[in-house]
Amino acid sequence: MTSKKIRFIADSTCDIPQDVLKKWDITIIPAFVNYGGNSYADDGVELDRVAYYDQLPTMPAQPTTAAPPPGLTEAIISRVAAEADHVVMLTVPATLSGIYNTFRLGASNLPPETYTLIDSGTTTMGMGFQVMVGAEVAAATGSVAEVVSAIERARKHIRLYAAPESMTYLRRSGRVGWAAAGAATLLQIKPIVAVSDGVVESTARVRTFGKAVEKMVELALEQAPIDRLALLHTNNLHGAQDMRQQLGNAIPAETYTINITPVLGTHVGPKALGVVTLNNGWRQ
């Protein structure tokens, strides 16, 4: 079997740290955040995450998010494809965003056998871990089939849980129907949100944010032995560090703490926490 030069592209909601992107030569196509009459690329340059989340509660209107422009997407995909034998692309779920369709259109002029487009079914490091696993397998095997198989196995063993500090932003976003009801806000119910197979659902509801964090830790521990872990937050580093402490010996060597992309944080609001686990079973 001939070894291929395989490159990877993902949208910016994958939250992969810069050093990992550089290590595996992964290309990111930025989504955009719109507020104050301007549109900002989610590229880690135009939007400072700490400053953005600090400002979010006092913004006069809820910011909106958008898929990358078609021209930008096509240009980046074409450039990467010219440098590789095969391009593997992963995106946030098509059920939640137009990004998948933008990638599909951006790659439509390439020969079909030269690229693979994958709906990750999830987001932030739930997608990020799939990209990273794929890049590692590509480097080891040079086989597109092995890469796709590894990504599919990883997806089955990934769990993503998140707890918004307030339901306000999730309700305003309109992205999930169950969040539109005002009852959760009125009763101060804190949902544990799970993202899987393109669906955002409430898997548990508790009365306080502290209890929500405890429940997320419990759900994460159920995934042990954990191969890789990401602790997520929106300007809540202290909360992420507290989760890390509660997870104790279950914390694997490969653990990341991520102040998540504003494209996602816009919809969950400041001070949210989350956790992504990749169970060891994906290697079998």
Q: What is the DSSP string of 64-104?
A: EEEPPPHHHHHHHHHHHHHT-SEEEEEES-TTT-SHHHHHH
Better pLDDT: 76 or 176: 76
d(CA 193, CA 201): 6
**Which conformational region is residue 235 in: left (phi greater than 0), alpha (psi within -120 to 50 degrees), or beta?**
left
> Rounded to two decimals, what is the model's pTM?
0.94
Q: Decide if 283 contacts 157 (C-beta within 8 A).
A: no
d(CA 132, CA 123): 13
d(CA 160, CA 122): 8
Question: CB-hemisphere CA count at 13 Å for 113?
Answer: 1
Q: How confident is the model at residue 181, as a pLDDT? A: 46
DSSP letter at 37? T
Better pLDDT: 186 or 267: 267
What is the DSSP pairing of strand 255-259 with strand 38-41? Answer: unpaired
| Span 192-225, pLDDT tens digits | 889 889 888 888 888 888 999 999 999 999 999 9
Give rounded-to-5 percent helix, strand, coil for the chain: 45, 25, 30
Q: Which domains does the chain have, with CATH numbers?
A: 6-31+67-156 (3.40.50.10170), 158-283 (3.30.1180.10)
| Span 77-108, pLDDT tens digits | 999 999 999 999 999 999 989 999 999 999 99
Q: Quick check: 1 pLDDT over 70?
A: no
Confidence of residue 254 (pLDDT cuts 50, 70, 90): very high
